[in-house]
Amino acid sequence: SQQGEEDPQALSIQEGENATMNCSYKTSINNLQWYRQNSGRGLVHLILIRSNEREKHSGRLRVTLDTSKKSSSLLITASRAADTASYFCATRGSGGSNYKLTFGKGTLLTVNP
Amino acid sequence: SAVISQKPSRDICQRGTSLTIQCQVDSQVTMMFWYRQQPGQSLTLIATANQGSEATYESGFVIDKFPISRPNLTFSTLTVSNMSPEDSSIYLCSVLDTKNTEAFFGQGTRLTVV
Protein backbone atom coordinates (compact mmCIF):
# COMPACT_ATOMS: atom_id res chain seq x y z
CA SER A 1 0.00 0.00 0.00
CA GLN A 2 1.06 3.57 -0.46
CA GLN A 3 3.62 4.65 2.11
CA GLY A 4 2.80 8.33 2.27
CA GLU A 5 -0.62 9.86 2.62
CA GLU A 6 -0.97 13.60 2.21
CA ASP A 7 -3.70 15.78 3.43
CA PRO A 8 -5.44 17.80 2.37
CA GLN A 9 -5.86 16.42 -1.13
CA ALA A 10 -6.52 19.92 -2.38
CA LEU A 11 -5.90 23.32 -0.85
CA SER A 12 -6.92 26.70 -2.21
CA ILE A 13 -5.57 29.90 -0.63
CA GLN A 14 -5.01 33.55 -1.42
CA GLU A 15 -1.65 34.97 -2.34
CA GLY A 16 0.28 35.99 0.76
CA GLU A 17 -1.30 33.35 2.98
CA ASN A 18 0.57 30.36 4.36
CA ALA A 19 -0.05 26.84 3.09
CA THR A 20 0.38 23.76 5.25
CA MET A 21 0.40 20.24 3.88
CA ASN A 22 0.71 17.09 5.91
CA CYS A 23 2.08 13.66 5.16
CA SER A 24 1.83 10.41 7.09
CA TYR A 25 3.75 7.23 6.49
CA LYS A 26 3.69 3.70 7.81
CA THR A 27 7.14 2.18 8.18
CA SER A 28 10.52 3.31 9.48
CA ILE A 29 12.34 5.70 7.22
CA ASN A 30 15.83 6.93 6.46
CA ASN A 31 14.59 10.28 5.23
CA LEU A 32 11.52 12.08 3.98
CA GLN A 33 11.51 14.40 1.01
CA TRP A 34 9.08 16.85 -0.50
CA TYR A 35 8.70 17.34 -4.23
CA ARG A 36 6.73 19.73 -6.38
CA GLN A 37 5.09 18.98 -9.71
CA ASN A 38 3.75 21.57 -12.10
CA SER A 39 0.89 20.50 -14.38
CA GLY A 40 1.85 16.86 -14.74
CA ARG A 41 5.45 17.53 -15.61
CA GLY A 42 8.59 16.24 -13.93
CA LEU A 43 9.00 16.53 -10.20
CA VAL A 44 11.39 18.97 -8.59
CA HIS A 45 13.04 18.25 -5.27
CA LEU A 46 12.26 20.84 -2.61
CA ILE A 47 13.70 19.70 0.68
CA LEU A 48 14.90 16.59 2.52
CA ILE A 49 14.69 15.90 6.22
CA ARG A 50 16.49 12.99 7.81
CA SER A 51 14.96 10.70 10.36
CA ASN A 52 17.09 12.20 13.15
CA GLU A 53 16.01 15.75 12.33
CA ARG A 54 12.87 17.45 13.57
CA GLU A 55 12.72 20.65 11.57
CA LYS A 56 14.34 22.13 8.52
CA HIS A 57 14.07 25.41 6.67
CA SER A 58 14.80 26.43 3.12
CA GLY A 59 13.74 29.89 2.02
CA ARG A 60 9.94 30.08 2.40
CA LEU A 61 9.73 26.36 3.14
CA ARG A 62 9.61 24.81 6.56
CA VAL A 63 9.44 21.06 7.07
CA THR A 64 8.84 19.22 10.31
CA LEU A 65 9.16 15.53 11.02
CA ASP A 66 7.65 13.59 13.90
CA THR A 67 8.90 10.03 13.72
CA SER A 68 6.86 8.99 16.75
CA LYS A 69 3.69 9.90 14.87
CA LYS A 70 5.16 8.96 11.47
CA SER A 71 4.16 12.29 10.05
CA SER A 72 5.63 15.36 8.40
CA SER A 73 4.36 18.77 7.45
CA LEU A 74 5.39 21.23 4.76
CA LEU A 75 4.71 24.89 5.36
CA ILE A 76 5.00 27.41 2.54
CA THR A 77 4.96 30.94 3.89
CA ALA A 78 3.83 34.06 2.05
CA SER A 79 2.52 32.03 -0.86
CA ARG A 80 2.65 33.26 -4.44
CA ALA A 81 0.58 32.38 -7.48
CA ALA A 82 3.67 30.67 -8.86
CA ASP A 83 3.51 28.19 -5.96
CA THR A 84 0.43 26.65 -7.57
CA ALA A 85 1.39 23.00 -8.11
CA SER A 86 1.02 19.51 -6.70
CA TYR A 87 3.19 18.67 -3.73
CA PHE A 88 4.27 15.14 -2.86
CA CYS A 89 6.07 13.67 0.08
CA ALA A 90 8.34 10.73 -0.57
CA THR A 91 9.99 8.41 1.88
CA ARG A 92 13.11 6.36 1.65
CA GLY A 93 13.01 3.31 3.85
CA SER A 94 15.68 2.51 6.37
CA GLY A 95 18.22 -0.07 5.28
CA GLY A 96 21.43 0.75 3.48
CA SER A 97 20.65 -0.73 0.09
CA ASN A 98 17.09 0.57 -0.14
CA TYR A 99 17.21 3.42 -2.62
CA LYS A 100 13.61 3.37 -3.69
CA LEU A 101 11.38 6.31 -2.95
CA THR A 102 7.73 5.77 -2.10
CA PHE A 103 5.48 8.71 -2.93
CA GLY A 104 2.36 9.89 -1.19
CA LYS A 105 -0.85 10.83 -2.96
CA GLY A 106 -0.06 14.51 -3.13
CA THR A 107 -1.72 17.81 -2.33
CA LEU A 108 -2.90 20.08 -5.12
CA LEU A 109 -2.21 23.64 -4.00
CA THR A 110 -3.89 26.53 -5.76
CA VAL A 111 -2.75 30.03 -4.87
CA ASN A 112 -5.18 32.65 -6.10
CA PRO A 113 -3.78 36.08 -7.05
CA SER B 1 22.53 17.70 -10.01
CA ALA B 2 21.51 15.71 -13.06
CA VAL B 3 19.71 16.81 -16.18
CA ILE B 4 17.44 14.27 -17.79
CA SER B 5 16.12 14.55 -21.31
CA GLN B 6 13.00 12.47 -21.78
CA LYS B 7 11.14 11.98 -25.02
CA PRO B 8 8.59 12.01 -26.41
CA SER B 9 6.92 14.57 -24.16
CA ARG B 10 3.51 13.32 -25.21
CA ASP B 11 1.90 10.92 -27.62
CA ILE B 12 -1.49 9.64 -28.62
CA CYS B 13 -1.41 5.97 -29.58
CA GLN B 14 -3.80 3.39 -30.88
CA ARG B 15 -4.66 0.47 -28.64
CA GLY B 16 -2.66 -2.64 -29.38
CA THR B 17 0.44 -0.72 -30.40
CA SER B 18 3.66 -0.10 -28.43
CA LEU B 19 5.50 3.07 -27.49
CA THR B 20 9.13 3.38 -26.48
CA ILE B 21 10.12 6.21 -24.16
CA GLN B 22 13.73 7.34 -23.97
CA CYS B 23 15.67 8.96 -21.16
CA GLN B 24 19.14 10.45 -21.55
CA VAL B 25 21.07 11.63 -18.49
CA ASP B 26 23.91 14.13 -18.63
CA SER B 27 26.06 12.07 -16.26
CA GLN B 28 26.73 8.42 -15.56
CA VAL B 29 24.37 6.89 -13.03
CA THR B 30 24.11 3.40 -11.65
CA MET B 31 20.35 3.20 -11.22
CA MET B 32 17.53 4.63 -13.27
CA PHE B 33 13.94 4.43 -12.13
CA TRP B 34 10.77 4.34 -14.18
CA TYR B 35 7.49 5.56 -12.68
CA ARG B 36 3.90 5.66 -13.81
CA GLN B 37 1.50 8.40 -12.73
CA GLN B 38 -2.09 7.67 -13.56
CA PRO B 39 -4.45 10.64 -13.97
CA GLY B 40 -4.82 12.54 -10.71
CA GLN B 41 -2.73 9.98 -8.85
CA SER B 42 0.68 9.74 -7.28
CA LEU B 43 3.79 8.11 -8.70
CA THR B 44 4.11 4.34 -8.70
CA LEU B 45 7.48 2.74 -9.30
CA ILE B 46 7.46 0.38 -12.28
CA ALA B 47 11.04 -0.85 -12.19
CA THR B 48 14.66 -0.08 -11.41
CA ALA B 49 17.06 -0.33 -14.33
CA ASN B 50 20.74 -1.09 -13.73
CA GLN B 51 23.29 -1.15 -16.49
CA GLY B 52 24.41 -4.63 -17.41
CA SER B 53 21.62 -6.50 -15.68
CA GLU B 54 17.92 -7.08 -16.04
CA ALA B 55 15.59 -4.51 -14.60
CA THR B 56 13.96 -5.20 -11.26
CA TYR B 57 10.18 -4.89 -11.50
CA GLU B 58 7.79 -3.93 -8.74
CA SER B 59 4.76 -5.96 -7.83
CA GLY B 60 2.08 -5.62 -10.49
CA PHE B 61 4.48 -4.83 -13.32
CA VAL B 62 5.97 -7.40 -15.68
CA ILE B 63 8.73 -7.37 -18.24
CA ASP B 64 6.49 -8.49 -21.10
CA LYS B 65 4.31 -5.41 -20.67
CA PHE B 66 7.06 -2.92 -19.78
CA PRO B 67 10.36 -4.07 -21.27
CA ILE B 68 13.29 -1.88 -20.27
CA SER B 69 16.68 -1.45 -21.83
CA ARG B 70 19.77 -0.01 -20.15
CA PRO B 71 22.59 -0.21 -22.68
CA ASN B 72 24.93 2.20 -20.84
CA LEU B 73 25.20 4.38 -17.75
CA THR B 74 23.51 7.41 -19.32
CA PHE B 75 20.57 6.00 -21.23
CA SER B 76 17.47 3.88 -20.74
CA THR B 77 14.25 3.10 -22.56
CA LEU B 78 10.87 1.93 -21.33
CA THR B 79 8.44 0.34 -23.77
CA VAL B 80 4.73 0.21 -23.06
CA SER B 81 3.57 -2.82 -25.03
CA ASN B 82 0.21 -3.82 -26.43
CA MET B 83 -1.34 -0.67 -25.07
CA SER B 84 -4.87 -0.29 -23.82
CA PRO B 85 -6.70 2.85 -22.62
CA GLU B 86 -5.80 1.84 -19.04
CA ASP B 87 -2.16 2.56 -19.90
CA SER B 88 -2.97 6.25 -20.38
CA SER B 89 -0.68 7.90 -17.84
CA ILE B 90 2.35 10.04 -17.39
CA TYR B 91 5.55 8.01 -17.44
CA LEU B 92 8.61 9.46 -15.72
CA CYS B 93 12.22 8.43 -15.50
CA SER B 94 14.34 9.37 -12.54
CA VAL B 95 17.88 9.11 -11.21
CA LEU B 96 19.42 9.78 -7.82
CA ASP B 97 22.16 12.23 -6.96
CA THR B 98 25.67 11.02 -6.17
CA LYS B 99 24.71 10.47 -2.53
CA ASN B 100 21.69 8.39 -3.58
CA THR B 101 19.30 10.70 -1.78
CA GLU B 102 17.69 13.41 -3.90
CA ALA B 103 15.88 12.29 -7.05
CA PHE B 104 15.94 14.08 -10.39
CA PHE B 105 13.19 13.57 -12.91
CA GLY B 106 12.68 13.83 -16.61
CA GLN B 107 9.84 16.04 -17.77
CA GLY B 108 7.58 13.06 -18.27
CA THR B 109 5.80 11.46 -21.19
CA ARG B 110 2.06 12.01 -21.29
CA LEU B 111 0.59 8.97 -23.02
CA THR B 112 -2.98 8.77 -24.22
CA VAL B 113 -4.22 5.48 -25.64
CA VAL B 114 -7.32 5.62 -27.82
Give the three-state DSSP class for A51.
coil
- Round to whole Å and give the CA distance between B13 and A111: 35
The larger pLDDT score, comparing residue A14 to residue B96, is at: A14
Contact between A62 and A56 (Cβ < 8 Å): yes
- Computed over every residue of chain A, the mean pLDDT equals 91
Tell me which residue in A45, A102, A103 faces B102 most closely, judged by beta carbons. A45
- Round to whole Å and give the CA distance between B31 and A44: 18
A92 touches chain B (CB under 8 A): yes
Determine the average pLDDT of the residues in B49-64: 92
Per-residue pLDDT tens digits for B62-97: 999 999 999 999 999 999 999 999 999 999 999 988
Chain B hits for A104, Cβ within 8 Å: 42
Per-residue pLDDT tens digits for B7-43: 999 999 999 999 999 999 999 998 999 999 999 899 9
- Round to whole Å and give the CA distance between A1 and A4: 9
In terms of Cα–Cα distance, which of B95, B92, B88, B89 is closest to B107? B92
Q: Which residue of B has its CA nearest to A104?
A: B42
